Amino acid sequence: MTECVYFASYLNQPAMDAIVISEQELNQLRQETAGTANIIHFNNAGASLPPDVVVDTVVDYLKEEALAGGYETEYKYREQLADTYTAIARLINAEQDEIAIVENASTAWCMAFNGIDFIAGDEVITSEMEYVTNIIGFVNAEKNRGIKIKLIPNDENGNFSLAELENAISPKTKLIAITHIASTTGGMIPIVEIGKIANKHNILYLVDACQSAGQVPVDVKEIGCDMLSVTGRKYLRAPRGTGFLFVKKEVQDKLKPLFMDGFSAPDVKLAGFNLRNDARRFELYEKNRALTLGLGKAIEYALTIGIDRIWQRVQLLATALRAELTDIDGITVHDFGPEQCGIVTFTVSGLDAAQVKNHLAQKHINVSVGKAISTLYFMNKNNLTNVVRASVHYYNTEQEINTICDELRALLKQ
């Protein structure tokens, strides 16, 4: 297997103690990410460029599986595979037995939401930032389980109202389900303050941290959430097809697993079965071991840099990009709220977001199109059918920001 050489060299650098990611450190991080030499990647909210060590870990493992056998390789790497749970637990300040590894955030969220024992009349409170998977879950449960969804819209400045949340709570409120960072706008929802209210009223609290993990410090104890869903490929820089679900120990018995096999329920008799005594009851036996290792490596990589430092640089770059875009005639930025993240969204007058994306792709700049379907409440409210989404990560540079803005200015002149 590939040695994690960068850790040693990295830890010896005095810059590690510094808060700000230095230019020297940034160069090293970029050297450790092959993709940064080829393209300007502002699609980190889609899927980030993985560090080389993550790619090598996955490829080497797959090769070893092919030569030695899948079960045999798993046995050899059983400790490293277990380390992925440890890394996730460290990342979000949870316990290992509160983590289930799944293939994406949608699976994680659906496991949590659909596992709740809703009865007709139960109420779920949410915000306008919800992702499409979650909205489908709400609509489905409204139709088939008789629950009611209560939406707390942000005000015109993008502020979430904690007072309105308090007002919306009733004896029937079973769940508060909140997306921390939406897919198609840069604002953030105050999940810690919401958690305090959820806990005060003893209401289950589910957080979609799909765009947050790897970008922003995420601490489940500070948030006070019962369940949290995450994907690997976005800000964590893990391989595609990875994700995880956190379920607080005390809440695990309140959720019904949607799928079960001999791994999730190892104590089986013909008269009945017992589930595992940890969150892996929400996993099935068969999963991609190579990707699990890759996820672990990506998280270790992020933790070695430090999530605080990553967050600081992401904010710095996003603020610079927003400021420069705002200065360009013909561009409107669509990020609201007191706190904003690395997702920068905008429209270009007279051009569809797909045209802008395609133009930039020709210049080797990756952005994506944020579609209405992804964040339906928010996009409908703001009459947006789509937006250009340029999502920065710490490995992006100020020079890259200048380049994309130069290209947009040139496009507007055409």
Ligand X SMILES: Cc1ncc(COP(=O)(O)O)c(C=O)c1O
CB of 43 to ligand X, least distance (A): 11
CB of 38 to ligand X, least distance (A): 23
DSSP 43-91: BTTT-PPPPHHHHHHHHHHHHHHHHH-HHHHHHHTHHHHHHHHHHHHHH
Q: Which of 210, 290, 293, 295 binds ligand X (CB under 6 A)?
A: 210
Interaction between residue 396 and ligand X (CB under 6 A): no
- The stretch near ligand X (CB under 6 A) out of 16-24, 102-110, 251-259, 331-339 is 102-110
Nearer to ligand X, 351 or 376 (CB): 376
CB of 398 to ligand X, least distance (A): 26
Site string for ligand X, 224-263 (x = CB under 6 A): -------x-----------x--------------------
Interaction between residue 48 and ligand X (CB under 6 A): no
Nearer to ligand X, 105 or 218 (CB): 105
Nearer to ligand X, 106 or 366 (CB): 106
Q: Which of 133, 215, 347, 368 binds ligand X (CB under 6 A)?
A: 133
> Can you tell me the distance from the alpha carbon of 228 to that of 225, in angstroms, rounded to the nearest whole number?
7
Q: How many CB atoms lie within 10 A of CB 17?
A: 6
CB of 392 to ligand X, least distance (A): 15
For ligand X, how many residues bind (rule: CB under 6 A)? 13
Nearer to ligand X, 154 or 231 (CB): 231
Here the tokens at position 299 are 């998280």
Q: Which of 36, 44, 73, 106 binds ligand X (CB under 6 A)?
A: 106
Report whether 216 contacts 367 (CB < 8 A): no
Q: Which of 105, 135, 302, 392 binds ligand X (CB under 6 A)?
A: 105
Interaction between residue 183 and ligand X (CB under 6 A): yes
Q: What angle do CA 272, 273, 276 make, to 5 degrees?
A: 165
> Can you tell me the distance from the alpha carbon of 303 to that of 299, in angstroms, rounded to the nearest whole number?
6
Report whether 347 contacts 372 (CB < 8 A): no
Strands across the sheet containing 204-208 = 99-102, 243-247, 227-231, 204-208, 173-179, 123-127, 148-152
Upper half-sphere CA count for residue 293 (Cβ side, 13 Å) = 24
Interaction between residue 128 and ligand X (CB under 6 A): no
Here the tokens at position 262 are 């001999």
Interaction between residue 57 and ligand X (CB under 6 A): no
> Can you tell me the distance from the alpha carbon of 394 to that of 27, in angstroms, rounded to the nearest whole number?
11
> Rule CB under 6 A: which residues touch ligand X?
104-106, 131, 133, 179, 182-183, 208, 210-211, 231, 243
